[in-house]
Amino acid sequence: MSQECQTTLAAAVSLEGCGIHSGRECRVTLLPAETGYGVRFARTDLPGTPEIPAQIASLSEEPMMRRTILRDGDVSVETVEHILAVLHGFGIDNARVEMTSAEPPIWDGSAKELAKLVGQGGVKTLDGSERKVFRVTRPVSFSPEDSPGVEFTAWPSDTLTLTYFLNYDHPVIGSKTVSFCITPEVTEKEIAPARTFCTEEEVAFLRSKGLIRGGNIDNAIVVGRSGILNTELLWPDELARHKLLDFLGDLLLLGLPARGHFTAFRGGHHANAQFIRYLRKEFSQA
């Protein structure tokens, strides 16, 4: 079997827009990086352009509140799960993500435009490098103690496959299941376009917490008690696909591209983080 090599972006890609929680403008630029660099976020708006590696040690301990936050000392980036999902889905090992503020743009609530640009730019193989992956070698299951009804499993597989079980006590959302073997094409066409969502009742609560200051009817699906209030779904299971998008991004915090079949029943960012910590302990040899 030939040795699998590490990869990076073949060309830089850049997008700008408004952060959904901060409401601040941000320009994000994804740049090629050398062998062994990994994925790192760089705050170009701060003195010295501090970097934060995309790994579980950087994950903030503060409440997730519907987003993934990475921190190194006083420097942080937040709501980075969509960027991580695109990188993970395209199999990119090394990339520098430069940001002009703490939160990347939300765009239309999905990662569609970013995935399109990465797909157009292409992926470059770093010749002479050895690719390392996080491999599940035996079946495991995990249920966070502080999240009743949430459950994860992981099974050995030579590919990365994700299954997400959406289950809401809500007349419109209800239950949906989606499952994909992750490839660049599947990521771009079937997962990245799925938009973030919230219920009509959640809007006031999130705003009371100082969140969704950049949210509007064009960058999130709003679900009412009798139907979708502001748009039409791209697929009947779009909400489940978006949860799978977040799961795909959070899994890159393992620090390596993952190989296994991972399932999540009612998982979210906070529970995903606990599952990732569990996986790192169970498969410390990876």
Considering 82, 88, 269, 270, which one is annotated as catalytic?
269
**What 8-state DSSP symbol labels residue 229?**
S
- Give me 132's structure tokens: 């390392």
Taking a C-beta distance cutoff of 8 angstroms, is the pair 256, 55 a contact?
Answer: no
283 exposure class (CB count in 10 Å sphere: 0-12, 13-18, 19+)? middle
Closest CA to 221 of 240, 243, 192, 196: 196
Instruction: Give CA–CA dist 123/90, Å, rounded.
Output: 8
Taking a C-beta distance cutoff of 8 angstroms, is the pair 90, 185 a contact?
Answer: no
Q: 259 pairs with which residues across the strands?
A: 135
Q: Using alpha carbons only, what angle is made at residue 158 by residues 96 and 256, rounded to the nearest 5 degrees?
A: 25
Instruction: Give CA–CA dist 76/197, Å, rounded.
Output: 24
Instruction: Give CA–CA dist 215/157, Å, rounded.
Output: 38
Taking a C-beta distance cutoff of 8 angstroms, is the pair 78, 67 a contact?
Answer: yes
Taking a C-beta distance cutoff of 8 angstroms, is the pair 97, 83 a contact?
Answer: yes
Residue found by looking up tokens 């972006």 in the block: 9
Q: Decide if 269 is catalytic.
A: yes
- Give me 90's structure tokens: 């395209």
Catalytic residues: 269
